[in-house]
Structure 1
């Protein structure tokens, strides 16, 4: 890094900013450098040095704050996250009865308008002592349709009125799982564009306040047209890589866009993302596809004892080949160890490129295949903390290879951190802290051998999409974050709650507090 006094070749003026006295993250991400000035101009870092001439730029006194590349959340369902922030919070419920009581309280205090649905989000039932059933909700809802969305997004708990409304009349339990529930999820997002876009704008502002400069949006079935509309309307706080799901793949291909291509007339904020395919279920819903069966009560009959394979290899391989030939990468959801093996096999046989989303349970033989195939392990570290007790019960004897970030890194895999919001909050500091310190509730760290160090976690929190900023250097895009604490050395609690003083996207403030 230059520490010389110099006058930059691009002078100051409207849209230029001089950050006075910042400490940039070192290139190896092990610490912060000495205080320097950083000039931003033309959407880029124009100069770094001591005593820079502002040349008419806005001068911002930063008082030795840390300066880092802006953070990315590499796995978001933005519409669902934006709506979930306004829904009944069920995350604290420890039983079906407690969940139903929360519904009753909400209906008594703030019922939905006639004809509308009460939607709750965040229940996790794998360890509940009682069973969720539609009649339990019927008893407290007085005919109001109620849909409760699980914290992992893979199941819903509906009362009889909601079953009727969403095409599941007479369902024996009201528990709708996987593909059938995804259709309900899409229907719940069928709100006027201006309403949903307003929710998204609020969520983007909140993300900017946490240092986020970009997201990979996996909202189904294809969020690129929605983001084009939002950006044109002024929601410009983050860069977005928009994925496409199989039922819109041909429409995406018809545009001629390839993964990483920037969409015209979006100010460089919107780019085409990968093909997203969900190949199995989830841990909490007991549908992640595993080699070993899930534990079950004596005498219980389970239709899918090892979980659900949603897209078998003979369907997956042609999808990957089609994406490969069209210049699209693939992002394949795989949680169970058997699902991960099959996905790795499909990548190997098709020659497709891309990433595996979640990779929560892996066999020892599959860990090195990520690096050998050039695949990114797109992981969500907060899930390891949310699911540790569930994993200890449902994956008993196998948890040393669950959420195996340390093993993946040691084997040469490239990691990308995310939240899977709304499954976990859209806050990269939470993900980063969970990756380096596997506890947040005072208990012993869970499988600390699978932690990664801060330098690795920070690198995995920067963008993996084309053009993303990996270091603060002259000439790079000015997607940056200023923090009040040093993320390379602060305590775990401060890391998780990192105070963010400012966020810039292309040299433009998207969040500013205290500077």
Structure 2
């Protein structure tokens, strides 16, 4: 394959160039018009478009995202009653997961709701139909009485709410029952991601990811995105018995990823483990850990000895402290997923311990109101990407889809502007530049010998930054809507809109 008349991202001094791609790698880069190949190969004329490394989403719950796109959306709910009303309104328009009798809703944010969630409130609208309502952060799920009884969680009544590990278990239970339809939904979601320049994902789905991805890739050539999937503690023994380890290829385009452990909760569920108590709550609430430090250390040691790189979820600043201490005491490197709230003294520890901060910039936009309510005394340390980079940390970006959309350009816009509405940038001194944001979403470079995981853009994002730097609202919109006109993975075109 030859890409003609490309402008290389962040290399304008080279002018327009031609690229030869062979066997999935960049084989040659030459001045435009000077590259010839015999016999002729497939060609695409980029006509000056910016060619950039493809984008990775470093944190996705792919099966949940694929389902979320088909569920009753609860994003607009500003109260528990409004969520129930949205479920009732959507009861005839959406597929159900697991059983045709179960109605699934997703995406509610209840951190600032004025009323309580109860199974009885849902019962008023649902009747005997089982309803399952997922919070946007997936750390809690709200059931009506029929669903609690059918799914074996009657102990949650009368509230009908499952949190943390119980909620994750229900996610696995529903995933197992969704059958072949879920694989098709995943395929559709990946096609949509390709159209936004995604060349690879790290899948942290709450499921048996080894079984899912080896099944999905068997005999299939349509899967267009590289996948690194996570292994959770309950599947670790089985993975070790198979000889799995981080980086092992198990199917075309599919590799074993990280050992994922969810150490604490989330801000919206008020379960993220913090050094100081949450504000605006009666009594003292600090959140909590899902595992003891002893259990976490044992998992980290066992996983790393078997060749797994640990990726430990930590959102509260106390949870991040605990996990950083474990990386230091065990003497291994890895990743912290989210790193949402950090102590001032911990920013430099990421670089010192060679721990990657896997951050979701859109959370700074979506969570600003709930953070201002519960963490009003510490907002300068929330999604503090500028501080992490200045401290020398390696930062990578993900979406945490379905918590935010599987679209790296959304994350890039949020990191650069920290706004997506008419309000000013939230904690604006934590904004970063477009070049830095793009690099946090890329894994390869535009040089000979690198993988041919590439995208052609309809506008130069660095030019957009220069032109709109004084207007963060317009810049945010321009970056979120940046056209992706060609996506190439491993030297194969996976999206074409030239």
TM-score w.r.t. the length of structure 1 is 0.91
* TM alignment of 1:351-362, pairs within 5 A: 351-362=331-342
Q: Residue 459 of structure 2 corresponds to which residue in structure 1? A: 485
CA contact (8 A) 1:324 1:351 kept: no
Shift of 1:168: 2.1
Question: Which segment drifts farther, 312-321 or 450-459?
Answer: 450-459
1:57 aligns to what? 41
1:36 aligns with 2:38: no
Deviations 1:88-115 (A, max 9, x none): 0111111112111111112266686986
Residues 481 and 502 in structure 1, CA contact (< 8 A), matched pair in contact too: yes
2:194 equivalent to 1:214 = no
Contact 1:210-1:427 at 8 Å conserved across structures: yes
Preserved contact between residue 419 and residue 476 of structure 2 (Cα < 8 Å)? no
- Aligned mates of 2:96, 2:306 — CA distance in 1: 45
Aligned with 1:122: secondary structure? Answer: strand
Deviations 1:152-181 (A, max 9, x none): 100011111111122222512112111111
Distance 1:146 1:129, change over 3 A: same
- Deviations 1:168-196 (CA, angstroms, capped at 9, x unpaired): 22512112111111111112212354211
Q: What's the offset of the Cα at 1:252?
A: 1.3
Pick closer, same or farther for the CA change 1:241–1:110 going to 2, 3 Å. closer
More helix by share: 2
Paired residue for 1:439? Answer: 419
**Counterpart-to-counterpart distance in 2, 1:255 and 1:123:** 39
Query: Could you tell me how far 1:18 is from its partner in structure 2?
Result: 1.1
Distance (whole Å) between structure 1 residues aligned to residue 41 and residue 69 of structure 2: 38
Comparing 305-314 with 109-118, which one deviates more in the overlay? 109-118
The Cα RMSD (Å) is 1.7
Q: Is the 8 A contact 1:134 1:158 kept in 2?
A: yes
1:502 corresponds, among 475, 478, 486, to: 486
Shift of 1:386: 0.4
What corresponds to 2:80 in structure 1? 96
| Structure 1: 5+ residue stretches without partners | 1-16, 464-468
Deviations 1:40-75 (A, max 9, x none): 111111111122114301121111111011100000
Q: C-alpha distance in 2, partners of 1:307/1:206?
A: 36
The separation in 2 between residues aligned to 1:373 and 1:66, in whole angstroms, is: 36
Distance 2:235 2:405 in 1: 27
Distance between the aligned counterparts of 1:221 and 1:328, measured in 2?
Answer: 18
Corresponding residue number in structure 1 for 2:449 = 475
Q: d(CA) in 2 for partners of 1:442 and 1:130?
A: 28
2:4 paired residue number: 20
3-state secondary structure, aligned to 1:510 = strand
- State how 1:53-452 maps to structure 2 within 5 Å: 53-55=36-38, 56-107=40-91, 116-169=101-154, 171-234=157-220, 235-263=222-250, 266-267=251-252, 269-297=253-281, 300=282, 305-452=285-432
Say whether 1:511 aligns with 2:492.
no
- Displacement of 1:255 in angstroms is 2.2
CA distance in 1, matches of 2:113, 2:226: 39
Answer whether contact 2:7 2:48 (CA < 8 A) is retained. Answer: yes
SS at match of 2:463: coil
Structure 1 residue 129 displacement after superposition: 1.7
Residues in 2 aligned to 1:255 and 1:451: alpha-carbon distance in whole angstroms: 44
1:3 matched to which residue of 2?
A: none
Are 1:323 and 1:352, in contact at CA under 8 Å, matched by a contact in 2?
Answer: no
CA separation of 1:110 and 1:406: change in aligned 2, threshold 3 A: closer
CA distance in 1, matches of 2:92, 2:209: 36
Q: CA deviation at 1:259?
A: 1.1
Specify whether residues 111 and 190 from structure 1 end up closer, same or farther in structure 2 by C-alpha distance, changes over 3 A only: closer
Q: 1:478, CA displacement in angstroms?
A: 0.6
**Alpha-carbon separation, structure 2, partners of 1:157 and 1:112:** 16
Change (3 A) 1:136 1:33: farther
Q: How much has 1:24 moved relative to structure 2?
A: 0.9
Give the Å deviation of 1:248: 0.8
Would the alpha carbon gap of residues 454 and 125 (structure 1) be closer, same or farther in structure 2, given more than 3 Å must change?
Answer: same
Q: Which runs of 5+ in 2 are unaligned?
A: 465-474
Change (3 A) 1:109 1:332: closer
Look up the SS of the partner of 2:201 in the other structure: strand
Equivalent residues of 1:259, 1:328 under 8 A apart: yes
SS in structure 1 at match of 2:311: strand
Change (3 A) 1:189 1:237: same
* Distance (whole Å) between structure 2 residues aligned to residue 432 and residue 505 of structure 1: 21
